[in-house]
Every structure is written in C-alpha cells, then in structure tokens.
Amino acid sequence: MSISGIRAGLATNLGTISGLRTAAEIPDQASPPIAIVNLQNIDYHNAFQNGMTNFIFTVQVIVGRAAEREAQRRLDEYAEPSGARSVKSAIESDKSLNGNCQTLIVDSMPSVGSLQMNDQTYLAAEFSVQVYV
C-alpha cells in the first residue's frame, strides 16, 4: 500500500467515466474535462498501535468555461450520487483500489466554482475522498 498506488487506483476508477480525462498527479497542463487527484491530508495513528492511517484526497473535476451552460450541465452529471457520469460512483466502484487500501468513501463535494487556469476561466468542483489503510 503506497500513496502512489492509491493515486493510481483513484485515477483508474475515475477513468471509467466516458470522456473524462484523469491525472493521478497534478499535470503541468490540464485539458478539461479532467479529474485531478490531490493528496490533501494524512491522519496517522487512527487506531491503537498505529493500526490505521487515514488519507484524505481531493479530486478536482474541471470542465469547460464557467460562462457556458453546457459546462454546468456536465458538472451536474459528475456531481450526481449515482449514474454513468457520477464521480462518487466511479471512485467507489473498487473500494480497495486494487488492493491499495482497506476501504474508501467519497464523503462530500465541498466546493464548486470558477477556476483560473492557462488564462482561461473554467468551472470546477472538488470531491473529498477518505481512504483508509
């Protein structure tokens, strides 16, 4: 079990969404629509005698320009709790990430808004993923 293995597993699960590019690491250039996996926080010692570590990842989903209605519709599809384009469903489709963790849960989508990137404004949402090792 490694952080890079968890990142790769999250990107693989997200890759099941048709038309969504994925990046297990922060890319130099991002071409929307794309889901980018970021490590946000690590909580060590979550059980007796170091029995569990909790990794908190954010998955940032970036879609088209913020002014386009189609971008909002696409982001709405990614935010659905279930369905073919649901980020939550895709991430939770293999909760062990091919053996890289005990389990995981997508617990929230804490932010949605405009994102400035490459001199363009895009619409983006962040999903919080709890990964237990």
Start-to-end Cα distance in the chain? 7
Please state the pTM of the whole predicted model: 0.92
What is the fold, at CATH topology level, of the domain defined by 3-132? STM4215-like (3.30.2000)
Helix (H) or strand (E) holding 6: helix 3-14
> What digits encode the pLDDT tens for the residues 62-85?
998 866 788 999 999 999 999 999
Give me the residue spans of the domains in the chain.
3-132
Q: What is the pLDDT of residue 69?
A: 85
8 Å CB contact between 87 and 10? no
119 DSSP β-pair partners = none
